[in-house]
Chain A
Amino acid sequence: MKKTALNAMHRQMGAKMVEFAGWDMPVQFEGINAEHKAVRTKLGVFDVSHMGEFWVEGPHAFELVQKVTTNDVAALTDGKVQYSCFPNGKGGIVDDLLVYRFNTEKYLLVVNASNIDKDWAHINSRNDVGAKLANVSDEVSQLAVQGPLALKAMQKLTKTSVEDMEYYTFKVVEFAGVPDIIFSTTGYTGSGGCEIYMPNNKAEEIYNAVLEAGKEFDIKPIGLGARDTLRLESGFCLYGNDIDDTTSPIAAGLGWITKFVDGNDFIDRPLFESQKANGVPRRLKGFVMVDKGVPRHEYEVTDADGNIIGHVTSGTMSPMLHKGIGMAYVDKPFWKEGSEIYIKVRNKLLKAVITRPPFYKA
């Protein structure tokens, strides 16, 4: 199993470790609910060093990124970040990712740990334009500091102004005394904060500085368990659950990152454009349980008579709402907001209502 540079520190802090995408990662420290609430009300720090990072550089960098991602890379300016996905040429999604523009000839792509090898093979196979590619996933560590107090706490570690940074922007700063750190106001929790990229050999030093700077605000280390409940409460997709090689971004509700504008001739554009125009039979929708129960991945969705009309892709008990919440692919016309659907939990049909996420507004 692969280990991040912070593995020993997690064990020292009493983390419960699990295997995730080939990595030995902390799933929880104090407990998922307590960690979840810490991020919603104050701040917490996640080791997300398992994520992958690719550089795309050179005069043809823009051309390649524009072609392999659905969002419009031309809309990016230097210092801005964009959420996007890689279409697979068959109407599915290779991965979802973040695209960072450093300048017109330099982009950073941040991808899911579980897909690093697949993504790397994919973009290389599509690189007939001759962009310069580098996979630095094994050299880069990443911390996510998330929560309403995250930027205030992290401001203590840099002279560059970061507290007032706009959402989905980044700066290269000196951070905790380490030069050339990428400081990005992105995240996967819906509670604000930042993601910080650093070389592996500086990870422990920076992690300690983050914990120290956050101490006065009650910072807590957060595991992957709360990362999942936080993202789901905010309605963010998880690759492998809600989206995969067989789901189109149009069906997955990712039309907003699938831009059919002039000059954005990405892979699968004609197919997705026709899906958008003609509709799809099944869509990814959020739902909130009315009856008591916890929806889970792969549970069936039915109508009132028990006919199957979809399946749950993600589900949990919302730590903030104390209700079951989830996402499911649901057949037309049951996907309409406010529609009553039923989740089959241990052979019982429990009522739920189609609800547009975020389920919890931070």
Chain B
Amino acid sequence: MNIPENLKYSDDHEWLRMEGEEAIIGITDFAQSELGDIVFVEVETIDETLEKGEAFGTVEAVKTVSDLLLPVGGTILELNEKLEDEPELINKDPYGEGWIVKIKVTHPAEIDEMLNSTAYKSLIES
């Protein structure tokens, strides 16, 4: 299972990476492998400001539907447009081309509360 060291993780299997002022969010390799083939991503919260833990969208695999939960509070700035035609990018490259949204973080302190790669690794192994 791929768990890059430079990312932050949530209990709900999202990852977060800071890029300048913005945070990029996606789901982890573990999450995509549990879900199986992803067939549809829906994010209709662009420009909305949501709290930590709120659903900002849904991801549909062949067999299941899952909410996408914000790992930190923020304003949804942008959806990865490529996912519209190629939702399978989340399966193929969950930490790269399969990123899901960019957000502006409301309380940067919340990022520090997220799990590091070691803590996330022990979470999925427990």
Contact = CB atoms under 8 A, between A and B. Distances in A.
Residue of B60, B63, B88 with most chain A CB atoms under a 10 A cut-off: B63
Contacts of B91: 31
Given A31-B91, A33-B88, A229 B40 contact: no
A13 B91 CA distance: 20
B62 A316 contact: yes
Nearest to B63: A225
Interface stretch (A114-122, A196-204, A291-299, A353-361): A291-299
A294 B88 contact: no
A73 interface: no
B78 interface: no
Interface in A221-264: 225, 229
A294 B37 contact: no
A33 B37 contact: yes
A107 to B, nearest CB: 35
A93 interface: no
Interface string B29-53: 0000000110110100000000000
B65 interface: yes
B40 A292 contact: yes
Contacts of A33: 37, 39, 62, 88
Contacts of A317: 39-40, 60, 62
B58 interface: yes
Contacts of B39: 33, 294, 316-317
Contacts of A34: 37
B62 A225 contact: yes
Interface string A12-34: 00001000000000011001111
Contact of B40 (A16, A27, A31, A293): A293
Contact of A296 (B36, B37, B42, B65): B65
B60 A294 contact: yes
Contacts of B36: 16, 28, 31-32, 225
B109 to A, nearest CB: 32
Contacts of A293: 40, 42
Nearest to B64: A296
A296 B60 CA distance: 11
Nearest to A324: B40
B40 A294 contact: yes
Contacts of A346: 58
B110 to A, nearest CB: 27
Nearest to B58: A346
A49 B62 CA distance: 24
Across chains A and B, which 3 residue pairs bring their CB atoms closest together, nearest first? A317-B39, A33-B37, A32-B62
15 contacts: A27-B63, A28-B36, A31-B91, A32-B37, A32-B63, A33-B39, A34-B37, A225-B62, A293-B42, A294-B60, A294-B65, A296-B65, A316-B39, A316-B62, A317-B39
Interface of B: 36-37, 39-40, 42, 58, 60, 62-63, 65, 88, 91
Given A27-B63, A316-B39, 10 more contacts: A16-B36, A31-B37, A31-B91, A32-B37, A33-B37, A33-B62, A225-B62, A292-B42, A293-B40, A294-B60
